[in-house]
Structure 1
């Protein structure tokens, strides 16, 4: 009898890079869009690495999953990125086992974010895991872990002040405008891209700066029209971008395209401008910086925008860590008990097999009340399982030894790592 055994967590890894060791330009080389993500998952299944997901945001690209060697995950990722495997190895970090599990909790709760307590990342984790599951690349371990991280993130948001106030990349852009631009209500603002970051930035400008002098430009005009109509803004088709840029005082770029959407020639011989690039990889070409009348600010520079909100959040870190510790231990206990449960079920199946065979032999000739025999035998089997399970739970420090012994005695076919 062959039984699939739960994966050992020593083979669970996270490989990745983030804002701590790499700037936005390098991160952009390893950013993964949805099409690339799809290809990675297809490659993963072909290589029998079918329990993983990728988190790719403006601050990080990380692969979480099971593999014999974490370098397998690195190589898998780099089949689709602009950056090479050798380049990735030079800047990447690797965590395995419980360290990898803890890292996901830290990321999902905003403790590892470039802006402490940034709550947007939890939605990105949810989306990334959901996409992997839809493509057959999430097993029970990862699904349970991600659900636990989402639960902990919600608890920390509700029970601590780690995410109190409004601080995010989109909000940091607004704070920057507040400090750099006087009379912002009189300035012409162009927002290129109305995805999530673009929409959040527009809402923050309306709420905190009190301006609606915002012109939306988006490749899909329907999206721009819908958002503009809902919020009383203006929009133009994408082919009107050139004229919009020429007249703008402030340009915010949130397109997340694979190639720059703003180039030097579009801004030559125009009025002075502030350009804020919210995209990874950069969507404002490097040579735009050569224009003396144009100031370009990217996401790494935005992260330096600090205020008292961030200082207040620091005092909430110990409380958040305590919540993580509690729920991580619950998750590890679930994994351990699940491992034991597989063995115990296999033992029960083995005993049931013996029971069935013995009853069949008994029916060959003797005049016993077979119903009574069957009932008693079934009760005996369940009592044996209950006794073994009780012993395992009581002697937690010896539980692995007991399970290994039971597994060996009954020759269940379960393979323990």
Structure 2
């Protein structure tokens, strides 16, 4: 197959780079809408898969009939052309493989998209809207995504403040299973950090907040308990991890408070002050056994980790190209098999028709067998030039590009 041969696949979509959230939410796909959208899109292609996340809505086509951009706009019934991108042929495959690998994500290398692509394919497959071309493409993209993450480590380093805090806690305290977290305040970042800490094994959670109702809500979500703000210094000695995310006109924890909390215990205390302004006295970081980090510390870690991820992109892109080449080789063999089968079936059908027509001559068994053998030889000789064209790739290219007339000729 020559390099100019174009696979008859395409992708059309919007994402965080091409459209604001006000547009993305207009084309997001709710479960109850998926069947109707798929039915409409199948009028424009033989195979269809919908991928919808908070940052992208995409339609993958195989066996495209007509303009995929018009098909997308028609499905949603609104003009979207200024926000849409379209990739066709090999560029569409590269896009799918990059998406599955996290290379096209808002957060480079993120892992959630891998599962989202898999679920999108499973849903489409269950609806019967995918066939051999898209099935193989998505399976290859998922394999490539796994290779990218395992062979480059692009997803290993934290790229969010909340997860960076968890990495630091694990580095200082070791295994977090059974550890106790104390949350001062109930801000969004504190909640995210607590989510990651709980996933890392932290079991005991205490929330202290000036508003008791909010403290109780957050504590209930993580199976913990709430305490009055005035009890902070009393419960501090029980904490392995302290998350400060509150507004206060002064420091709520000072070195003497932390020193008393650590007296008589052998294990350290990890403190994260993500408040602005800070509410933990920076001097607490000098207390023996106390490890204090603030928002700037965590942001620097995230920036360094993002830079490390970016440095891994060339290797990840090379793996994407490996995956696309594997697909093209499979597609070449698939096209050859389909064409060979089609050619052979066609000439065998012609031979059967002629045999049935000549059957009225009243031939005996020997004559019929001789005639059947002769027709088989003729059909093989007639098919030979077409089979050579298949092997040389000229008709194979027509098949992959969806040029049915060239194949029939």
Find the counterpart in structure 1 of residue 70 from structure 2.
Answer: 72
CA RMSD of aligned residues (A): 4.7
Partner residue of 2:348 out of 344, 347, 352: 352
Map of 1:219-238 to 2, 5 A cutoff? Answer: 233-234=223-224
TM-score between the two structures when normalised by the length of structure 1: 0.58
Query: For the residues of structure 2 that align with 1:135 and 1:399, how far apart are their CA atoms?
Result: 32
SS across alignment from 1:115: coil
Change (3 A) 1:202 1:121: farther
Deviations along 1:391-413, one digit per CA (max 9) or x if unpaired, are 643x34x5558999xx99xxx99
Partner residue of 1:40 out of 37, 48, 51: 37
Map of 1:259-408 to 2, 5 A cutoff? Answer: 306-357=302-353, 361=358, 364-365=362-363, 368=366, 389=387, 392-393=390-391, 395-396=392-393, 398=394, 400=396
Query: For the residues of structure 2 that align with 1:377 and 1:365, how far apart are their CA atoms?
Result: 15
SS across alignment from 1:30: coil
1:27 and 2:47 aligned: no
Task: Please tell me whether Structure 1 or Structure 2 has the larger radius of gyration of its CA atoms.
Answer: 2
- Is residue 50–residue 57 contact of structure 2 (8 Å, CA) maintained in 1? yes
- Is residue 10–residue 97 contact of structure 1 (8 Å, CA) maintained in 2? yes
Query: For the residues of structure 2 that align with 1:122 and 1:308, how far apart are their CA atoms?
Result: 24
1:147 and 2:144 aligned: no
Query: For the residues of structure 2 that align with 1:40 and 1:73, how far apart are their CA atoms?
Result: 10
Change (3 A) 1:381 1:151: farther
Deviations along 1:327-366, one digit per CA (max 9) or x if unpaired, are 2123223334433433322221233234435555478335
Partner residue of 2:110 out of 87, 97, 118: 118
Map of 1:36-115 to 2, 5 A cutoff? Answer: 36-45=33-42, 47=43, 49=45, 51-65=47-61, 66-79=64-77, 85-86=78-79, 88-115=80-107
Per the TM alignment, residue 189 of structure 1 is displaced from its structure 2 partner at its CA by 4.3
Query: For the residues of structure 1 that align with 2:98 and 2:165, how far apart are their CA atoms?
Result: 27
Change (3 A) 1:188 1:212: farther
Query: For the residues of structure 1 that align with 2:165 and 2:336, how far apart are their CA atoms?
Result: 55
Find the counterpart in structure 2 of residue 213 from structure 1.
Answer: 205
- Is residue 100–residue 114 contact of structure 2 (8 Å, CA) maintained in 1? yes
Query: For the residues of structure 2 that align with 1:49 and 1:351, how far apart are their CA atoms?
Result: 29
Per the TM alignment, residue 60 of structure 1 is displaced from its structure 2 partner at its CA by 1.5
Partner residue of 1:130 out of 119, 122, 135: 122
SS across alignment from 2:129: coil
SS across alignment from 1:368: helix
Q: Which has the higher contact order (CA 8 A, sep 6+)?
A: 1
Query: For the residues of structure 1 that align with 2:187 and 2:46, how far apart are their CA atoms?
Result: 43
- Is residue 50–residue 136 contact of structure 1 (8 Å, CA) maintained in 2? no
1:17 and 2:7 aligned: no
TM-score between the two structures when normalised by the length of structure 2: 0.59
Change (3 A) 1:50 1:384: closer
Change (3 A) 1:376 1:156: farther
Per the TM alignment, residue 313 of structure 1 is displaced from its structure 2 partner at its CA by 2.3
Partner residue of 1:160 out of 143, 146, 152: 152
Query: For the residues of structure 1 that align with 2:120 and 2:224, how far apart are their CA atoms?
Result: 32
- Is residue 392–residue 403 contact of structure 1 (8 Å, CA) maintained in 2? no
